[in-house]
Structure 1
Amino acid sequence: MQTIICEQPDVFKMTETDMPSVRPGEALVRIKRIGICGTDLHAFKGNQPFFSYPRILGHELSGVVESINGECAHLKAGDAVAFIPYMECGQCIACRHGKTNCCTDMKVLGVHMDGGMREYISVPFSHLIQVEGISLDHAAMIEPLSIGAHAIRRASIRKGETVLVIGAGPIGLGVMALAKQEGAKVIAMDVNEERLAFCREWAGVDVTVNALEGPRDRLSELTGGEFPTAVFDATGNARSMTDAFHYAAHGGKLVYVGLVKADITFNDPEFHKRELTLLGSRNATREDFEHVIRFLEQGNVDLDAYITHRAPFYGMIDRFESWLDPQSKVIKALVEL
């Protein structure tokens, strides 16, 4: 089968590899769609934490089941599926408490182990979800949206709450759309006016704020001096993540959805004065995936507009680097097999 390998930073190679073996409890899946996310872009440029080369990238995946090795009540050959790409150990303290998304020995497809930039892959069928009635394009988008769903659940967002989402990339957009679903008033913040316009059009946010134009004063004005009760930072930018402490209400929450390869510091007296709750949000659980599937089945979001760029599998290498250029205005790129 044909496989794309990231051999080292800035180097992809298309090569022939063996078909994967299918152990008991696993399914063989023919890959049909691969979403390109920030992790893939960072890995290609050598900026991804917890990463080693060579690596087959790709964890936003959909495909069709070819065969199953073992008894599986929820899947059969021919089923269209989305992937839960987080391979947990099932035994650590996090797993025992149902927090499989932050397993102490987590291995994510395309990050810690080889992913889906290939024609076929074998994975535990416990990490596949049937997506009848959802297109293969949209099924590959379930994973990034589930990250947003998990962040919203971590923060226990309530109807009527004022929420600030910083960063209008694919993950931030998902947080915005899912916060709106919960009935929150959503403020979107970014440095790019075109992205902020997309937040209004696609996610239906209530108001936008340019992060370069006195954002704290603007947030104070918008909230009557009270500030948002929940702030989500989905930028993966150390400066933004540090500044976010100043945007949350007294008694509010700050949720780091993005990951940065750096230290984050904050002023302790200000943190204590506000009795802020600082939360990390990592990956997602099956519960989050199922929530997103129900969300998509209701037709509440236009994923065709979310997917802005496409490439065939055999043409991806030539186009990949262009997706790194801000001038290309990529929101989500999708590879088709």
Structure 2
Amino acid sequence: MKTIILNQPEQFQLISREFNDELSENEVLLKIHRIGICGTDYHAYRGKQPFFSYPRVLGHELGAEIVALGKNVDSTQLKIGDKVSVEPYLNCGKCQACSNGKTNCCENIRVMGVHIDGGMTEYVKIPANKVHPSEILGYEDLALVETLAIGAHAVQRAGLSSNDIVMVIGAGPIGLSVIQFAKLHKAKIAVMDFNAQRLEFAQQLFQTDVSIQAKADYSTDDLRKDLNGVLPTVIFDATGNPQSMMKAFSYCAFGGKLIYVGLFQGDVTFFDPDFHKRELTLMGSRNAMASDFKMIIENMEKGNIDTKAWLTHTADFEDLPLVFNTWLDPQSQVIKAMLSIS
């Protein structure tokens, strides 16, 4: 079975390995057709991904085909030949978080491509409740669902209303997915990024209200000017950059919310008197829920979410070790890259 493994930072290898296709009673066997590349993969390649060890098979944004069912899988819900998106967060179902319905932050969670091997391979076995079928969408769309789900879950955490002034910091794929679902709440949306091309892309794709090109000395007063005298009531930081994440505290309106969608390996610090004076709310947003996947697929099928512009770079599976470095170059202007495997 063809597999790409990341042996250590900056060292991909295409290998062939044995695969046991025997299924447990509640598993399905998937043939992988499309693999989205995300920030987690880039961080792992650079050696900067939390919760990670080497060697590891990456890949958790997957468009796949069901090729076999375990004996207890409900064949009225899933069938051989179904095209599916994969929910790559394998939760234990027994811990306190799972008991409270917080499967996305299970105490014993195993995320494909992070804690366990992922989908950069020809076939994977996975619990049947972790696949979400569509009779309409193709493999590329299905591989994008997980990226969208990260943003959908963060927006759900924030509890947006049409009265909110939202600022999304970081206009990469995760930031764009946040914008996608914040737009559904009809909030005013500002986007901040160092990259002018990404700001332009976000404005063209979503008609965002304000574009802010970040710079080191950009201040709260500058932000007030750009937002006509006010500050954001809700800020989503999707950068995974410690300087950005800590500076975001100063951008929040009094009574505002700051949601960390990106993460980094390190400590976050803030000035407590200012945090209390403003009565800020700080939230983390991790992974997504099965309900997010179902909602996104339904909206994509209805045409409410258009992902065509997202996919900017593609490659054949076997070529990944050769092209991955080029996608890290800012000059390549990657929004979303994807692998095809036949």
TM-score range, shorter chain: over 0.9
Whole-angstrom distance in 2 between the partners of 1:9 and 1:133? 38
Structure 1 position 210 matched with structure 2 position 216: no
Indicate conservation of the 8 Å contact 1:229/1:253, yes or no. Answer: yes
Indicate conservation of the 8 Å contact 1:166/1:172, yes or no. Answer: yes
1:224 Cα offset (Å):
4.2
1:294 Cα offset (Å):
2.5
Indicate conservation of the 8 Å contact 2:59/2:113, yes or no. Answer: yes
* Superimposed CA distance per residue, residues 68-124 of structure 1 (whole angstroms, 9 cap, x where no aligned partner): 002324211000000000001111111110000001111100000000000100000
Whole-angstrom distance in 2 between the partners of 1:241 and 1:204? 25
Whole-angstrom distance in 2 between the partners of 1:301 and 1:71? 30
1:259 Cα offset (Å):
0.7
1:316 Cα offset (Å):
1.5
Indicate conservation of the 8 Å contact 1:177/1:204, yes or no. Answer: no
1:5 Cα offset (Å):
0.8
Helix, strand or coil at the partner of 1:308 = strand
Amino acid corresponding to residue 171 of structure 2 in structure 1: A
Question: What's 1:75 paired with?
Answer: 78
Question: What's 2:16 paired with?
Answer: 16
Question: What's 1:335 paired with?
Answer: 339
* Alignment size in residue pairs: 337
Question: What's 1:323 paired with?
Answer: 327
Structure 1 position 46 matched with structure 2 position 63: no
Question: What's 1:2 paired with?
Answer: 2
Amino acid corresponding to residue 262 of structure 2 in structure 1: G
In percent, how many aligned pairs have the same letter? 49
1:215 Cα offset (Å):
4.8
Indicate conservation of the 8 Å contact 1:94/1:104, yes or no. Answer: yes
Helix, strand or coil at the partner of 1:141 = helix
Indicate conservation of the 8 Å contact 2:73/2:128, yes or no. Answer: no
Whole-angstrom distance in 1 between the partners of 2:246 and 2:202? 23
TM-score norm. by structure 1 comes to 0.97
Amino acid corresponding to residue 71 of structure 1 in structure 2: V
Whole-angstrom distance in 1 between the partners of 2:11 and 2:194? 30
Structure 1 position 129 matched with structure 2 position 132: yes
What aligned pairs does 1:183-222 form with structure 2 within 5 A after superposition?
Answer: 183-212=186-215, 214-222=218-226
Amino acid corresponding to residue 242 of structure 2 in structure 1: A
1:26 Cα offset (Å):
0.4
1:142 Cα offset (Å):
0.3
Whole-angstrom distance in 2 between the partners of 1:180 and 1:272? 29
Whole-angstrom distance in 1 between the partners of 2:50 and 2:289? 21
Whole-angstrom distance in 2 between the partners of 1:279 and 1:158? 17
Structure 1 position 298 matched with structure 2 position 302: yes
TM-score norm. by structure 2 comes to 0.96
Question: What's 2:170 paired with?
Answer: 167
Helix, strand or coil at the partner of 1:35 = strand
Structure 1, unaligned runs of 5 or more: none
Whole-angstrom distance in 1 between the partners of 2:125 and 2:275? 46
Question: What's 1:285 paired with?
Answer: 289
Whole-angstrom distance in 2 between the partners of 1:226 and 1:206? 14
What aligned pairs does 1:94-113 form with structure 2 within 5 A after superposition?
Answer: 94-113=97-116
Whole-angstrom distance in 1 between the partners of 2:113 and 2:173? 18
